Structure 1
Amino acid sequence: MKATPFGMVASIVFSGISLGASAEILFEENFDDQADWTSAMHSTDRVQTAGSHVMPEGWYAIRQDPAFSPSTGYPNGHESIEILGSNTDKARGGVGKSMVAWRDSNGPDWYWGSDSMLTQYFPEGYDELYVSFWIRFDPEWTPYGETGMTKLFRVSSWDPDAGNLYKAFGDGPNGPIVLWDYEANSYGARNKLALRGHPTSDHYLMNNPSTINMPRKFGNGSASLNFDDNIRDLNGDGTNDNTIDSLFNLITGEPVSGTVSHDELWGNEWHKIEFHVKMNSGPGVFDGVLEQWMDGQLIFKNHQIPWMGHNSDGSAKWNVVSFGGNSHFHAYDETQVQRQEWRAYDDIVISTTLPNSPLPPNNVQIQVSQ
């Protein structure tokens, strides 16, 4: 099914999702009907936007920064983003197409070495958004060493009159923002979230006022959450308020707990990810929402987030959704190995509110090791 052009509302029933009576699907994409396209096929500009560049049908913009692609002199490499019929092995179900985002291991260890982000924009903006998508990682994905962070997804509020779509930070036009990043370290695979507020001038790091009732401390608006007690105790008060009943260790078949490795959590499977955001009702009011599910399992929930801080003018709306992002990936010496790794996205749905209930995945097969 083709993407719906940005800024339009589609009255479409997405198979498997029961939407509430007032919900509208704003956008859906399974990439199958997209023409073959890569981020450097028509232009090597780092930022490309609909109207001035050739975008995948219905999408608004991309940001790309490959290190070892054909466009940078490596004919056997991959461009930052691919939507190709030849990538059926990277499409959900093994047929059709998907968005394949590549990360490259290069540069000094302080540098974001590559970038691959596909963006949708809704000019009207919404107080509330629900986004679901499926994601799968390269079977040869490097989980440890200098793997660093790889950004996977974001939803944000962008003021186009204030500056560049892809500029954030304290002087940027983007806020609030929810960032979801990949990270794995000696404590296992992490659910890394970064929250940014509005206005960016004094609430970028969510400290005017600060967030409350989180599963662990959000230092400077960010936290690296585990797949254990941070799911069971959602508000961090020391009492479990959530049960892990649909997120399983791919090796043992048991509910996730303790230190969970990349292979135990992600493996070589497709996983359904869902995010629900709702703006707080006014500046400094503690009633904003962020919820996250993985494979039908609630893994984060807070209904007291002050997305708009004390000095906000109250105008922020959710209007940008992006898949992919830049990577802090330095596990390989680029003078010896031009290492590229992919993550793939498929079956995206963006709607104006939360479905009646997030559904469990329908194709994650748990294989218990003998």
Structure 2
Amino acid sequence: MTNLRSRLKIGITTSLLALWVVPCFADVVLEERFDSHPDWHSGLLENDSPFISGSPDRGQHSFDGATLPDGWFSIRQTPQWSPSNGYPDGHESIEVLAANAEKSRGGTGKSFVKWRDSSTVTGGAWSSDGIAMFYLPESGSVPPDGLTELYVEFYITFSNEMIASYYADAVGSAKLFRVLHWAGNRDEVYSYFDESNKPDFIWGAGSSNVDYGFRNGLAMLTKGDHLDPNKMVGIPYGYPFQRSQLSLSYTQKALEGMGVNGADAVLPDKKNGGLITSGPAALDQVFGNETNWTKVAFYLKMNSAPGVYDGVLMQWIDDNRIFTNKTVAWIQPGYPMVKWNSVLIGGNDFFSARPNEERYQEWWAIDDLVIRHDIPAHLETNQISPPKPPLLDVE
């Protein structure tokens, strides 16, 4: 599908969204519903270049001619128990398949299915990886240098197997979502350990022990030195803020004052009914079982100048704002100002709970991704929109 055809598809889907009304999607940058793609997975042998390590390539890029779903810029994959690694009964790191219809929102179509492999084969606990990158300037509605602010929403579900791992104190952790500035070096698309692809916001999840609950991991990795917590206002009391990273609970304590106009936020308990007040908050209390799809959203705004603590990060669960901070210095002193230009779904897993002989895999999935220039109006007034049925992709 050409870029023109992709933009036509975006326009048609946006028109359909208007029929459901409530939020206005006039400022949509990009949508990904997954349904219209031909079957695809990250282990296609045609994406096997003799000059890049891994088989198939660990990094697969549109600019190198890799076979990717239309509109995707790049993917990175490191499976352990996959068919491409010689285990025909396993799954590749990323799947967009009609056979996974039951893993899609609404039970039809396709979704982004991420498989996580429990393994110690690599000698470390980051056992598997699967991430897809959307480079926003290629959408046709984003300037070449990116956006000062953007809003992203999507629906997510966690498999019953992953929920069972949580209750067994064995779920480890997973990186689920990123927004960053990619510096444009094609040899370093996934280089996160220097200042090139920064700032970098990461949403992660997991648990080291059920006594601590399922964690809401927010990493605000700046361009330059780590954030100074003494210059930030409104970090939830009692939660350490170390190396620009927060490990929050989904309980009422962590959500105090995070709603619109400083209201206290509270989330429904999708397992037991009622509300999540005291902790620990379990994975399925927040997100339900694998038949439940939870809407997650983030808003990021760059700070006004290097070293100025006035950047923004917000987070919503099912249209309830559960985190807000307007004192983030995404760009530190001595570094040039840049803009957000990349959104990524997926990530790697700290997961080594099962014996390698089991070749154990479990999954989570994302569907109905929408990227906008700004926050939908209904979220600014704390008016929760009625849930919309999943949309069909239109060719």
Scaled to the shorter chain, the TM-score interval is: 0.7 to 0.9
1:25 partnered with 2:49? no
| 2:140 counterpart residue number | none
Q: How far 1:360 moved relative to its partner?
A: 4.3
Of 334, 337, 348, 2:369 maps to 348
Distance 2:356 2:190 in 1: 27
Residue of structure 1 equivalent to 2:184: 160
Tell me the residue number matched to 2:324. Answer: 301
Of Structure 1 and Structure 2, which has the larger fraction of its residues in helix? 2
Q: Residue 360 and residue 256 in structure 1: after superposition, are their counterparts in 2 closer, same or farther (change >3 A)?
A: farther
Residue of 340, 351, 359 corresponding to 1:338: 359
Could you tell me how far apart the structure 2 residues matched to 1:361 and 1:178 are? 29
Aligned Cα root-mean-square deviation (Å): 2.7
Q: Distance in 1 between matches of 2:92 and 2:154?
A: 22
Alignment partner of 1:273 out of 272, 296, 299: 296
Task: State the SS of the aligned residue for 1:317.
Answer: coil
Q: Give how far 1:213 is off.
A: 2.7
Letter in 1 for 2:30: F
Q: How far does the alpha carbon of each residue in 1:248-299 deviate from its partner, in whole angstroms, 9 at most, with x for none?
A: 1113311212211122222211100000001011111121110000111111
Hey, what's the Cα distance between the residues in 2 that align with 1:312 and 1:324?
A: 28
Q: 1:128 touches 1:352 (CA, 8 Å); kept in 2?
A: yes
TM-score, structure 1 normalization: 0.87
Matched, 1:115 2:135: no
Give 1:174 shift.
1.3
- 2:347 match: 325
Identity of aligned residues (%): 37
Q: Distance in 2 between matches of 1:244 and 1:217?
A: 20
Distance 1:127 1:207 in 2: 22
Count of residues in correspondence between the two structures: 350
Question: What does 1:1-370 correspond to in 2, within 5 Å?
Answer: 11=11, 12-13=14-15, 14-15=17-18, 16=21, 18-19=23-24, 24-41=27-44, 42-43=46-47, 44-52=56-64, 53-107=66-120, 110-123=124-137, 124=144, 125-141=146-162, 142-143=165-166, 144-161=168-185, 164-169=188-193, 171-184=194-207, 185=209, 186-199=211-224, 203=225, 205-207=226-228, 211-215=232-236, 216-228=239-251, 229-234=253-258, 241-244=262-265, 247-258=267-278, 259-268=280-289, 269-314=292-337, 316-335=338-357, 337-358=358-379, 359-360=384-385, 362=387
CA distance in 1, matches of 2:329, 2:59: 31
| Amino acid paired to 1:296 | D
Confirm or deny: 8 A CA contact 1:89 1:95 kept in the other structure: yes
* Structure 2 CA distance for partners of 1:312 and 1:213, relative to 1, 3 Å: farther
Distance (whole Å) between structure 1 residues aligned to residue 5 and residue 95 of structure 2: 19
